Chains A and B, each alone.
Chain A
Amino acid sequence: MIPAPRPSFQRPSFQRRSLLLGAGAAFGAGALPRFAIAQADQRPSITIAVQKISNSNTLSVLREQSNVGERTFSMIWEGLIGRDLLGGLKPIPRLATDWRRISDSVIELDLRRGVRFHNGDEMTAEDVAFSFGPEAMFGDTRPTAQGRTIEVSGDRIPTRAGRDLPPEVPAVARRSWPALERVEIVDKYKVRFHNATPDVTLEGRISRMGSEIINKRAYVEAETWFDWARAPVLTGPYKVVEFRPDQSLLLAAHDAYWGERPPIRQIRLIEIPEVSSRINMLRSGEVQFACDLPPDQIGTVESDKRLQVQGGTILNHRLTVFDKTHPQLADARVRRAFTHAIDRQAIVDSLWAGRTEVPKGLQWPYYDDMFISDWSVPKYDPAEAQRLLKEAGYKGDPIPYRLLNNYYTSQVPTAQILVEMWKQVGLNVQIEMKENWSQILSREPGRAVRDWSNSAPFNDPVSSIVNQHGPNGQQQQVGEWTNEEMNRLSVELETSTDHARRRQIFRRMLEICEREDPAYTVLHQNATFTGLGRDTPWKAAPAFAMEFRAHNWKA
């Protein structure tokens, strides 16, 4: 069982309401059978303490580009193809029951029948086409050939529904779907996605965050885009009751959900920025889940015999990123020395209590047959690092390392360990503390080494190495790094349909970015930890997303 909340400070209004409802149920049980059924709802309500609910203060999958968003959105949003959160993240039918390729650039999907939105409307092909249309997603942008910078106007985009679409929304949407031309309505329950170019990742793109389906009527009826984005009407197992930005999000079970009945009556996410406060609330029974626990707090939580910590690796790798325009890093051998000087396993063991791992470069096993299983991060070899530095003629000039104060879990201690490891081989790296990302990425002189993390929104290398380090990726856009061969291969990887060739390209990209001309080096896989009651019938998924569908709540 989950730890019982202490009755002394329960909301009085709930108690009054419960009493009134209970009395009403007893009084009218014979005359109002449906009402009586509602009162028999024995499902639990839970409270989840999180560090952040949404950075952008909206619940829009296209505006909120963060990991915390993924956790919140997984409860309310759904796409046509889902990910099996507890089954290796494999693609599974969600709002589409089946799909097939019509050509290299066209895919046809059969929609699930009887899916109800949170407002009771039935989902049809019209909602799907609207979700991928100019009013909700693409604004006035046009599909582009891959590898070309996406043009997005900075003006607010008036739509036919009479509201402005924030310009960052189509920009994010076009990044997810650079060449999607249109979604064709074949019939009420069948749609076709038409891409401008051949693309083997269409299924992956359909399953990624940002490709979920919205209710057309609710979107059109909302007064402003932001009004809609604070209470979107969707198909997920839980619906938004109240969103108080920076404070809390109250969700209720969507009892007309197409799948099994949601097992939780109400889910309340509350924003508790301080980790100690989240742990205190868990220990005092005020919350049933405490998210975003750093690894050094696992022991503290588990010292309470009623509690446990679940979680582990997620689809996100921590990287050290290089700016090869910095004079000391222009020679690839210096960057290669950086990569060989890191004892990654020591970092995993000391700062993560061994609860994460060193991955095989910037890729994940869920890439399936695109996963290069014999690849690995550069070997920890201080002698090789010293040899490379000597060969490059590095004289010990200082190399700045712009660092944020624990934006990532254990970021500062990791940086301190890295600097010491680099020092061991002769690299003179100097930490410069910065307050925010614009200071980190600023093009002013002195940008050389920084931290980053990369995710894979869908199961193909296009979603990570191309998206982040290719010609449109952040690293090249901010002017840190570029490589002509990598850029050529990025376009080919996006458009090629030859599987063997694509594997070959991906391997070559890894060689370029991680060995020959390092753009980055992978440190370790990221992990997320959640504290909860020892008997809570719930399992954490290998993702930020929290799964609260019926199959993951075995009460």
Chain B
Amino acid sequence: MLRFLAFRLSRSLLTLVLVVTFAFVVLRLSGDPALIIMSPDAPPEAVAAFRRSWGLDDPLWMQYLRYFTAILHGDLGNSMRDGRSAIALVGERIPATLALTLPALALKLGLGIPAGIYAALHRNSFADRAVMLLAVAGFTVPSFVLGLLLVLVFAVQLGWLPSGGQDTWMHAILPVITLGMGGAAVLARFTRSAMLEVLGQPYMRTALAKGVPWHVAVRRHALPNAAIPTVTIVGFMVGSLLAGAVVVESVFSWPGVGRLLVVAVANRDLAVVQCILLLVAATMITANLVVDLLYGVLDPRLRMGAREAA
């Protein structure tokens, strides 16, 4: 187990280094933060002074070395736009993003998994078709379209809910629904497929032949076996808790990490972009690690397999 963890951690570290390096090179080669932040109307000498003060006129490799050394010392740098620490800037946006993504995750799980199970258990029924129709609609409609539709109906026409901003809990309702519906649809489809596959397995027939009641067979045998693909998807969803709401945050003017990322990329505010990328990569890697460990919990064969391989 320790070897497994050590291997995964070292691979994760390598991933982080690659993410940081890739983002650094792409951002640096595709735009000059000085011109973007100071605006094209700024005097050339002001742009030049800005460049010099942030070391942007040094060779790229020198900038990278300086940046990487600072990261190793735990210094993720300061925002070039307002001089504040990148960690502080990102940190103060995290609660806003989690205020959307956590309820949205709950909505996805609470709606998607039961709907998928129900559809699978009632295969080819009207309910199954209705659930799948909604699921297809859910994941084919882009979130910005759904978001704008919800705003038009519930904010502009009915006036029940605010259309944007983050002043009260009511401001979160439409973005959470927008964010949750697509994920719930994906989960419903995956859960249904997984369940259908498991329900057709010989061990299910054997259990029923042995007189195990249908609901017990489903609970004890079908659900745990169908959980593996679902857990994989949920792992991705958990991994994208911090940066999975970029579009929705933009549509609803929600001041979270996603919107900060958009603004920081547009301004080539490297320290902030890198800080977010590191955070997102770390979250994704951790989520995947947990998912890998959960596989072993859910399926003893995987534990055995790992042991035999070792």
Judge whether B51 and A277 touch: CB under 8 Å: no
Q: Which residues A223-272 have CB closer than 8 A to chain B? A: 224-226, 230, 244-247, 270-272
From known contacts A6-B159, A168-B42, infer whether A152 and B253 are also in contact, taking CB-CB under 8 Å: no
In the assembled complex, B53 has its CB within 8 A of some CB on chain A: yes
Q: Are A281 and B52 in contact (CB under 8 A)?
A: no
Is the CB–CB distance between B159 and A247 below 8 Å?
no
Write the B7-42 contact mask toward A (1 if CB under 8 angstroms, else 0): 000000000000000000000001110111111111
Q: Which of B262-307 contact A (CB under 8 A)?
A: 263, 266-268
Q: How far does the alpha carbon of A474 sit from the alpha carbon of B81 in the complex, in Å?
A: 22
* B161 at the binding interface (Cβ < 8 Å): yes
Q: How far is the CA of A55 from the CA of B34 in the complex (A)?
A: 12
Residues 125-153 of B, flagged 1 when their CB comes within 8 A of A and 0 if not, give 00000000000000000000000100110
- Asked if B170 is an interface residue, CB under 8 A from chain A, the answer is yes
Q: Is B62 an interface residue (CB 8 A)?
A: no
Complex Cα–Cα for A389 and B81 (A): 46
| Contact partners of B268 in chain A: CB under 8 A | 436
Counting CB contacts under 8 A, is B308 at the interface? no
A8 at the interface (CB under 8 A from B): yes
B216 within 8 A of A: no
B164 at the interface (CB under 8 A from A): yes
Task: Pick from A153-161, A500-508, A517-525 the stretch touching chain B.
Answer: A153-161
Nearest chain B residue, comparing its CB with the CB of A440: B40
Flag whether B222 is at the interface (Cβ < 8 A): no
A286 to B47, CA, bound (A): 38
- Residue of B34, B46, B259 with highest tally of chain A CB at under 10 A: B46
B165 x A270 contact (CB < 8 A): yes
State which of A55, A166, A171, A274 has its C-beta within 8 Å of the C-beta of B253.
Answer: A274
In the complex, whether B114 has a CB less than 8 A from a CB of chain A is no
Q: Which residue of the partner chain, among B34, B42, B81, B156, contacts A57 with CB atoms under 8 Å? A: B81
Report if B202 contacts A (CB, 8 A): no
Which of these, A57, A153, A438, contacts B82 with CB under 8 Å? A57
In the complex, chain B residues whose CB is within 8 Å of the CB of A9: 161-162, 167-168, 170-171
Could you tell me if B48 and A154 are in contact, using CB atoms closer than 8 angstroms? yes
Whether A436 pairs with B31 at a CB distance below 8 angstroms is: yes
Nearest-CB distance from B33 to chain A (Å)? 8
**Nearest-Cβ distance from residue B197 to partner chain A, whole angstroms:** 42
Check if B49 sits within 8 Å of A153, measured CB to CB. Answer: yes
Assess whether A276 is in contact with B148, with CB atoms less than 8 Å apart: yes
In the complex the two chains form, is A472's CB within 8 Å of B43's CB?
A: yes
Given A283-B156, A438-B36: A150 and B43 interface contact (C-beta under 8 Å): yes
Partner of A171, one of B49, B155, B160: B49
A355 on the B face (CB < 8 A):
no
Of the candidates B30, B38, B163, the one whose C-beta lies within 8 Å of that of A435 is: B30
Say yes or no for B50: interface residue by CB 8 A criterion: yes
Taken together as a complex, chains A and B put the C-alpha atoms of A171 and B50 apart, in Å, by 9
A371 to chain B, nearest CB (A): 22
**Given A230-B82, A272-B164, A280-B164, CB of A55 within 8 Å of CB of B37:** yes
Of B46, B53, B171, the residue contacting A175 (CB under 8 A) is: B46
B59 sits at the interface (CB 8 A): no
- A12 vs B36: C-alpha distance in the bound complex, in angstroms? 39
Q: B251: CB under 8 A from chain A?
A: yes
Is A103 interfacial (CB-CB < 8 Å)? no
B79 interface residue (CB < 8 Å to A): yes
- B83, CB-defined interface residue at 8 Å: yes
Contacts of B53 in A (CB 8 A): 154-156, 166-168
Cα A8 to Cα B46 with chains together (Å): 48
In the complex, how many angstroms separate the beta carbon of A303 from the nearest chain B beta carbon? 12
Is B220 close to A, CB under 8 A? no
In the bound complex, how far is the Cα of B40 from the Cα of A439, in angstroms?
A: 11
Chain A residues, CB < 8 A from B48: 152, 154, 171
The answer to whether A11 touches B167, judged by C-beta atoms less than 8 angstroms apart, is yes
With A154-B53, A245-B81 as known contacts, state yes or no: A274 contacts B250, CB within 8 Å.
Answer: yes
Annotate B41-68 by CB proximity to A: 1 below 8 A, 0 otherwise. 1111111111111000100000000000
Residues from chain B with a CB closer than 8 A to the CB of A230 are: 82
A478 at the interface (CB under 8 A from B): yes
In the complex with contacts A12-B168, A149-B45, A245-B151 CB distance below 8 A: no
The chain A residue sitting closest to B44, CB to CB, is: A477
Interface centre among B51, B165, B260 (most CB of A within 10 A): B165
Contact: A245 with B45, CB < 8 Å? Answer: no
- Chain B contacts for A8, CB-based, 8 A: 159-160, 170
Q: Report chain B residues within 8 Å CB of A424.
A: none
Contact yes or no, A246 B164, CB < 8 A: no
| Chain B residues whose C-beta falls within 8 Å of the C-beta of A245 in the assembled complex | 81-82
Q: Quick check: B52 and A167 within 8 Å, CB to CB?
A: yes
CB interface residues, A 402-461, toward B, < 8 Å: 435-441, 452-453, 455
Q: Does B84 contact A (CB under 8 A)?
A: yes
The answer to the question of A285 belonging to the interface, with a C-beta cut-off of 8 Å to chain B, is yes
In the complex, which of the residues A154, A170, A174, A439 contacts B51, with contact meaning CB atoms closer than 8 Å? A154
Contact call A56/B253, Cβ cutoff below 8 A? no
Q: How far is the CA of A174 from the CA of B168 in the complex (A)?
A: 45
- Checking B42, B266, B267 against A172 with a beta-carbon cut-off of 8 angstroms, the contacting residue is B42
B163 and A277: CB pair below 8 A? yes
Residue of A nearest to B40 (CB): A437
* B51 to chain A: closest residue by CB: A154
Question: Closest approach, in angstroms, between the C-beta of A404 and any C-beta of chain B?
Answer: 9
CB atoms of B52 and A436 under 8 A apart: no
- Nearest chain A CB to B261's CB is how many angstroms away? 11
A284 touches B (CB below 8 Å): yes
A438 and B32 contact, CB distance less than 8 A: yes
Decide yes or no: A281 and B259 within 8 Å by CB, A175-B46, A435-B30 being known contacts: no
Cβ of B190 within 8 Å of any chain A Cβ, yes or no, is: no
**A172–B43 touching, CB < 8 Å:** yes
Tell me which residues across on chain B come within 8 A of A297, comparing CB atoms: none
Known A12-B168, A273-B250, A284-B159; judge A246-B259 contact (CB<8 A): yes
Q: Out of B38, B83, B255, B259, which one reaches A65, CB within 8 Å? A: B38
Contact with A along B66-99 (1 / 0, CB 8 A): 0000000000000101111000000000000000
Judged by a CB distance under 8 angstroms, whether A66 is at the interface is yes
Contact between B36 and A152, CB atoms less than 8 A apart: no
B159 in contact with A168 (CB, 8 Å): no
Smallest CB-CB separation from B165: which chain A residue? A270
Give Cα A230–Cα B84 distance, bound, in whole angstroms. Answer: 11
Whether, in the assembled complex, A58 has its beta carbon less than 8 Å from a beta carbon of chain B, the answer is: yes
The answer to whether A277 touches B164, judged by C-beta atoms less than 8 angstroms apart, is yes
Q: A274–B251 contact, CB under 8 A?
A: yes
Contact A167 B49 (CB under 8 A): yes
Bound: A322/B44 CA distance, A: 18
- Report the separation of the CA atoms of residues A244 and B50 in the bound assembly, to the nearest whole angstrom: 23
Asked if B252 and A277 make an inter-chain contact with CB atoms under 8 angstroms apart, the answer reads yes
Contact of B36 with A246 in the complex, beta carbons under 8 Å: no
Please indicate which of the listed interface residues A55, A168, A274 has the most CB atoms of chain B within 10 Å of its own CB.
Answer: A168
The distance from the CB of B270 to the nearest CB of chain A, in whole angstroms, is 13
CB closest chain-B residue, reference A452: B40
Decide if A65 touches B42 in the complex (CB within 8 Å): yes
If A272-B253, A436-B36, A437-B40 are given as contacts, then 18 extra A-B residue pairs at C-beta distance below 8 Å, sorted by A number, are: A9-B171, A11-B168, A12-B168, A150-B45, A151-B45, A152-B45, A154-B50, A154-B51, A171-B46, A226-B82, A245-B81, A246-B255, A274-B250, A286-B165, A436-B30, A436-B268, A437-B32, A438-B36
Q: List 9 A-B contacts (CB under 8 A).
A: A65-B41, A151-B45, A152-B46, A153-B49, A166-B83, A230-B82, A280-B155, A286-B155, A438-B31
B binding-site residues for A, Cβ under 8 Å: 30-32, 34-53, 57, 79, 81-84, 148, 151-152, 155-156, 159-168, 170-171, 250-253, 255, 259-260, 263, 266-268
